[in-house]
Chains A and B, each alone.
Chain A
Amino acid sequence: MNANLFYAAAALGAVVLYLMMEQRPAPFRAALTVAGLAAVGLMTSAVARNAPAPDGIENPGPFWLHVLLSMVAVAGAARMVTHPRPVYAALYFVLVILAVAVNFLLLQAEFMAFALLIVYAGAILITYLFVLMLAQQSGDQGTRGEDSAWYDRTPREPAVALVLAFVIVAATGDALFRKDSALPWNASPALVARAGERAWERLADMPAQLADEARAVATAGAKDEAVRAAIADAKLVPLEGGRMLQASPDGATATATLKLADGTTVDVTLDGSRAPDNSKALGHALVAEFPVSLELAGVILLMALFGAVVLARRQMEMAEDERRAAAGLPRIGDDDALRRGGAA
């Protein structure tokens, strides 16, 4: 396992990004696109050569889809930092967010994928677009950015920035491509079992949910209508050891016991599809494992709200200032004029 291919791809990407910084004629741009895709392809082959071989217990997700999304995300990001028109840069960022959200879906983070779309693409980016349009210079017309403001057309020290970024990326990437890394690239059966056990612990923490799932499984296995009706008001009884749910040693299934009204008990085995789904598990983990962080997040949002109100008041003062200046009065914000004794 060696990281040379990775360094080469990162260096090629840095060179392409450097050349993208200035406005170029069309054929040159096409060549840059090809070179950029070549950098992503090189990176893909570096990963494909260096990734540990799967050992059978993994979910064989589609590698090509990850690569496609990476291409979209990297192209969008590169265009975002080089585009001379700010609004287009913000729209390219939306493209990056879409690609990242689909990547979250592939990584089984379904709740976060949609939260990302709603919060980032839906709220934060719209705020950015609003402010960009508020601060738009009049006369911004061309889509190629030929009449953008000078500070959007001229990058500052691109060579220094790219060398710095390349060093950071290469140093961090080295940790990923290291052969003696302690990262569990191949999940061990113990890790899988522990994860399954944790999922069942979460279900056991939601008694109503657990009872519903157990009754659903029992109903599906019941033979006639009378039994099904009896199962509808069955209650869970604790297993030996006081637990409601016992996970199997490999974490794949769990068993619970239902007690019918007539005193007979039914053992049910819950399979993986009965475990809490991503959003339920996430909600449970949020309040059960990180309650203080959750409260702190609320405080951060409240403080941001206060800060935004203070800034908005300041802006209203400035608008008032402009009216005063027009009327020949001293500005409120003009400390010098106030110090001179109020003369405008």
Chain B
Amino acid sequence: MTIPMAILADAAPVTAAAPANVMVTLVLALALFGIGLVGFLTRRNMILMFLCTELMFQAAALAFVAFGRMWMDLSGQLMVIFILTVAAAEAALALGLVVLLYRRKETLSNEAWADMKE
């Protein structure tokens, strides 16, 4: 069994991917997105809800890279750079907010803030 990096060394500048490999990666991205969605809906801990959105970001990034591989184009990977940027900005702000909320009510449960929806 060969390691792909070794195949890369002196082949064409860009090689095509085997359909099954791209497909299994796209299905993995789909599964991760679904699990992240389930986590976001079922978790009550505010920090973990944000962590589940990060899981969905991961799934989107994986799909971008897999589709980029399929079209043999770098734009998919570039999009992942922007996903990383947004995820980092989101983590900084969301966690700052969560700490603020935690200091008010001494709990991480999102239901402590359910009265905000009125």
Q: Which residues of A contact B (CB under 8 A)?
A: 6, 10, 13-14, 17, 21, 43-44, 46-48, 50-54, 57-64, 66-67, 69-70, 73-74, 77-78, 80-81, 86, 89-90, 93, 96-97, 100, 103-112, 115-116, 119-120, 123-124, 127-128, 131-132, 134-135, 149-152, 154-158, 160-162, 164-166, 168-169, 172-173, 176, 183-187, 191-192, 194-196, 198-200, 250-252, 271-273, 275, 278, 281-282, 285-286, 289-290, 293, 297, 300-301, 303-305, 307-308, 311-312, 314-315, 318
Contact = CB atoms under 8 A, between A and B. Distances in A.
B21 A61 contact: yes
B2 A62 contact: yes
Contacts of A21: 42
Contact of B77 (A109, A165, A194): A109
Given A93-B55, A152-B44, A154-B44, A173 B96 contact: no
Nearest to A302: B89
Interface of B: 1-5, 7-28, 30-39, 41-45, 47-48, 50-52, 54-55, 58, 61-62, 65-66, 68-75, 77-78, 80-82, 84-93, 95-100, 102-104, 107-111
B107 A151 contact: yes
B96 A281 contact: no
A120 B43 contact: no
14 contacts: A6-B27, A48-B20, A77-B39, A86-B108, A93-B55, A109-B68, A111-B77, A119-B88, A127-B95, A152-B48, A184-B71, A251-B13, A278-B77, A282-B74
A275 B51 CA distance: 39
Q: Is the interface of A mostly helix, strand, loop or mixed?
A: helix
